[in-house]
A and B are shown apart, each in its own frame.
Chain A
């Protein structure tokens, strides 16, 4: 209204004749008419149907092998052993055998899975210090208070990496053997490149100081309580996989949204026979270094081998959901058409 004040004369206070002020802005007024709604419904039904079928075919082309090894094979004794917390430091290995009936063709991904492990508890998720793990020196020695009670060890040394998440890292390790006709062959697994690029290169960084080795940098820190070895010894062979930027650590630190989850352990290395086309059918065995206790929370541990498509792993939900939705829409569309034909078509109800 400020504009009006400058004017004078008989019509000084006359409001502007703009489309906005007079509420005459040109506009599109859609309405739910039979001409738009019914074709739209049929069209959507068709789209969903096509999508559903296509996705179903895609998902069907993937293969997945799941194996619960919590108490399977020789692991039952390790399971018993882990029940007693005093044996935590002792190693325990076991072997589980299984059979793949149909060859897994293409890239094969090796996952470990946990059930009933709540990585999504609020206090658990908060119990980490991203600043420490991105290599901030100050936070290395002064972990965030969120990490409590896993921020200092009994001697008062700061823990690196601090917090409940890092402390509870999944520490079983696996060696997969193919029991082919030519005797057992170790299945080669790529244990690197299993993290998000951004995690590996941005989110996690080792603290660096010139001319100091990783060991020296981490000097004055303690390893997490449940760890067998300090963070700078996670991979002594490869400095790009050691410390905070260890792939297994990074994968673990990406907390799962739900209590049942699987995390990538390795990818089949297909350079050599007989694995150039994936995993051939036959008998396999896994040697497990059985360290992670699940009996406390009634959890299960499993190993998953799967092939992938553009759509990801073998999840049947979306294809089925699309198909169901498609049928639903079709059903509704038919009902609406009938309703329209019987009541709305001749517009009787529309005229006053």
Chain B
């Protein structure tokens, strides 16, 4: 991508203004604008090798090894043969190149797929189907419904009235709501007439290519007139055309110059904290290496001065070399020898381990959702171990994870709805009595369902006769209407002033006289309708408490019964609504309507006046009954949240939902609990309010301390890090988007974060996608903690991308979230498995791997260091060169890989039972600088043992037949054997899960060592290449000596002795949580039965609500389409201008689907739009881009 970035930057410098002329290819070609072909791939077959190698050598480790290779070519320096470096390097390069090649082939494929999409282009006055890549700037193209926009277009004309088109911009900015674009009238008149379009010769002057999605400036000159162009007339590549039969557009920017592609370069490469730590460590290691080499070089200098000069008789120096120069050469020689401290194979092994652990996620059956055949997917293979370190978990709309199946009550048998031809076959219901009642024409029951069928803001779409689709703002509302439908009260269609329903087979049309929409103060909604018979009725549904206050005294008895039911429902965690109606007097209503009309046109205090009117008419209602909707969160959401909070993961919910909804869901999914000391609600409307509310909350959590003082420590370069604070008790925080906008301002963000971090659970409601990302960034910035964001909708994309780890729920709301995520699965509850099992294991494995890897390499290398003091600092290696070459690649590679792929401290069941096991990961306990330092110390000890024991045992001894065994070759063999045994046994101690494969790898590697050693030291190898295999016979002659084996035994014992002692003591004195659980497992012997699945987490209070409604009130306005109450406010103004620019204007996103509730100034054009033709449904897109 950066490739393009560079390209474009160059272009930008040249291009100050874009000029183009419609239908004039020759003219446009003269500017050499980019065509519409895109190229995200990096290589072609010829450039692959040089480019890829060039890139690989930009990695510091690879470059370092190249540098070593160069050093080795210099004979004075070369202390090792070339193959010791070349073999690992080639292996590493090959593996990486192979991976890069596959990736690039995939990119080529997707590029080809996109480039070869067809689009209709107007060429030579005719529409022709052309490939995307052949489209050029200045072409006129025709788009059809649900097509992707080919390039950045100037909209010319469309099939819809007033030249409107509807687009979905999910792929651009992650917002799924439809937006409107409108063409200029002058171009709109061209219509669909290809002759006219072909004659269109407008000239466009506009800004050069850039990446601002919300801005466009330009002018169109056509027929001598100049028209200004702005973003409202532009269709951007990556959008999808919706609800528009066709439209024509003029290509302005193609391919790489389109705003989508200009934005693409930004996608940042995620690295794990271990990666970052490792980079630091590698730098430290380089420093340490230089330090060791310097010491040895100085040693060499002194040695050469004192002894070497006297030894010149036997070993003359090369001409003119003095001690200082010799020391200089020695420095580099030791750089070569000690290179094994810088782990080149580390990077490869880490990649392999991560890949392996990613496969486990893909393969996990317990994260496979059979209903829609979706296995979990690790879309990124480089972040696994970070899954084990999550501290902040930011969730998108929890509500989105609710299932779509809603029940009115729970009984056992499925009801047969075959009597009703319009029934929704997917609807399940279990109460026969109710069906019977409907069939018996009980008037109360009929009124009940009639209410459900009339009083709502759902829109129906009947594509074919009898096939109804409901577009509801909230699933709850949809469910209620569907329920009514299945009981024979089918809502069929609506116009702004009528609602058609089929009542028990009879088509009836109710005149819709008024719609008293829901809002979160009223908590109810009413409709006033005139039945075909002419009867006026008001139907009202709303929160039970609200409805109860407005009931007629006559229903007291019914009220008592219903209250009982409601309490029962609420106890089960169902969301309840009370339904009521009243018949209206014609005269009274006319009078009311008149007053209403007056109230709705007054300029000041309109809202409260309207409310008063509503209040007046919604009284003396007659109770019809109550509905209860099961808060069908996906299976296991509360359990998951409970588990995660037990694992000390801070949970923040960032949702577009209303505050009430969010709060209720917070309770129903156990995020907020009744036991909490307090749940703070921040909903201030000015910065000062918000600040005051935050301070109040802080004071009540920590009354003693000065709440203004922020506990922070500065972490180099002025980056502040907020430390965690402990508060007594559990608190929750609910903040709405409006306040959040203030809280996220620079002056307040720290205070907000501090306060939020003290709370167990944080819910931010009514937040925009951008705010979601801002919250994530805030946490990332001031908390040195790993964040995970989860979401399923396109509005979560920004958050998913911003967090350290993004998880997408593949499911109802399309694929955008999944496509930008790092991990995806079908059910929210799989998250606990992902984190508590896979994440924890991955982290554990990675850390064990790193610790062991550093240990084995340091031990290996330090022995050289000690030997230097005995060989005159001459850079003589301790081991055979072949051993040095193969140590990391063959002898120790598989056992440690085996450990890092199979190891688990306790199995998954226990991991679930003890979520606390997750905590060490958050605290970076398993691998940190401290752990690394410990490793180095341990290695130092081991290397001392491994050098001095063999030295003392061998230096003065001989074989049992008097022959030599203290020679260099025997000593090398002895030391390397000791080393291999020591590190293998150490591995055995690290491993807590010995599968057959592990055992095979460990024993196999040892066997391999002896096999390879005997082969390398055999006659045949020597006679073929005498200089490379000069260790002939060493193995045979020394490994048959008892004192060799006694030495191996002694070194092994001494190497493990402190480790076992230390660990045993620690387990006894201060066992970690892991030790405790492992001990428990041992005591339990057999794995416990899986946790009994809790049927439902009963809520302790009778908290219930009437929020089972639409979550925004825009629909109501839309339905009545400006006839009275409020005027429609299509998102033309709000949808674009406000989205993302948050600090002052808050724009509700998400479910409001682009319609603003705030009664914006009316847009004259929109009035004419037929409401029913809007079809506000969302199709699952195929975002192949």
Contact = CB atoms under 8 A, between A and B. Distances in A.
Contact of B1057 (A51, A197, A329): A329
Contacts of B997: 25
B965 to A, nearest CB: 7
Contact of B375 (A14, A119, A127, A298): A14
A125 B1064 contact: no
A109 to B, nearest CB: 4
A134 B1032 CA distance: 12
B989 to A, nearest CB: 8
B964 A264 contact: yes
B1079 A350 contact: yes
A256 B311 CA distance: 16
A105 interface: no
Contacts of A197: 1033, 1037
Contacts of A329: 1053, 1057
A316 to B, nearest CB: 9
B269 interface: no
Interface in A53-111: 55, 85, 107, 109, 111
B1071 A349 contact: yes
Interface string A241-267: 000000000010011111111111001
B893 interface: no
Interface in B298-325: 307, 310-311, 313-316
Contacts of B994: 27-30
B246 interface: no
A227 interface: no
Contact of B960 (A15, A310, A328): A310
B1026 A130 contact: yes
Interface string B1023-1051: 10011001011001100011100110010
A57 B954 CA distance: 19
Interface residues on B, range: 35 or more
B1064 A37 contact: yes
Contact of B1069 (A28, A125, A309, A339): A339
Contact of A33 (B370, B904, B1023, B1082): B1082
A5 B373 CA distance: 13
- Determine which residue in A111, A119, A317, A332 has the highest number of CB atoms from chain B within 10 A of its CB, and name it: A317
B871 A121 contact: yes
Given A32-B1060, A254-B964, A14 B370 contact: yes
Contact of B949 (A118, A202, A321): A321
A14 B373 contact: yes
Interface stretch (B187-195, B357-365, B883-891): B357-365
Contacts of B951: 258
Given A29-B1078, A315-B957, A256 B1032 contact: no
B1079 A257 contact: no
B361 to A, nearest CB: 10
A258 B965 CA distance: 12
A37 B1043 CA distance: 27
Interface string A110-150: 01000010111111110101110010100000001100010
A224 to B, nearest CB: 11
B588 interface: no
A155 interface: no
A296 B375 CA distance: 77
A349 B962 contact: no
B1032 A17 contact: no
Contact of B1061 (A127, A145, A336): A336
Contacts of B962: 107, 109, 194, 264, 267, 308, 313
30 contacts: A10-B370, A14-B368, A25-B902, A26-B995, A26-B996, A27-B993, A27-B994, A27-B998, A29-B1081, A32-B1060, A37-B1060, A37-B1064, A118-B311, A120-B874, A122-B333, A123-B874, A124-B314, A124-B874, A130-B1027, A197-B1037, A198-B1037, A202-B1032, A262-B956, A313-B956, A318-B1050, A328-B1057, A332-B1057, A336-B1061, A344-B1069, A349-B1071
Interface in A165-190: 167-168
B1022 interface: yes
Contacts of A120: 870-872, 874, 876, 968
A288 interface: no
Contacts of B1032: 198, 202-203
Given A130-B1027, A258-B870, A350-B1075, 11 more contacts: A28-B993, A196-B964, A255-B967, A262-B958, A293-B313, A296-B314, A310-B1042, A312-B959, A312-B1043, A313-B956, A315-B953
Interface of B: 75, 79, 307, 310-311, 313-316, 333, 359-360, 362-366, 368, 370, 373-375, 841, 870-872, 874-876, 902, 904, 907-908, 949, 951-972, 992-998, 1019, 1022-1023, 1026-1027, 1030, 1032-1033, 1036-1037, 1041-1043, 1046-1047, 1050, 1053-1054, 1057, 1060-1061, 1063-1065, 1067-1071, 1075-1076, 1078-1082
A263 B964 contact: yes
A322 B120 CA distance: 88
A198 B970 CA distance: 13
- Determine which residue in A196, A203, A262, A347 has the highest number of CB atoms from chain B within 10 A of its CB, and name it: A196
A261 B870 CA distance: 12
Interface string A42-55: 00100010010001
A287 interface: no
A44 B1052 CA distance: 12
A29 B1064 contact: no
A350 B1141 CA distance: 55
B333 A325 contact: no
A11 interface: yes
Contacts of A293: 313
A21 B360 contact: yes
- Determine which residue in A119, A257, A263 has the highest number of CB atoms from chain B within 10 A of its CB, and name it: A257
A260 B315 CA distance: 17
A322 B1027 CA distance: 38
A272 B311 CA distance: 43
- Determine which residue in B359, B841, B963, B1027 has the highest number of CB atoms from chain A within 10 A of its CB, and name it: B963
B712 to A, nearest CB: 33
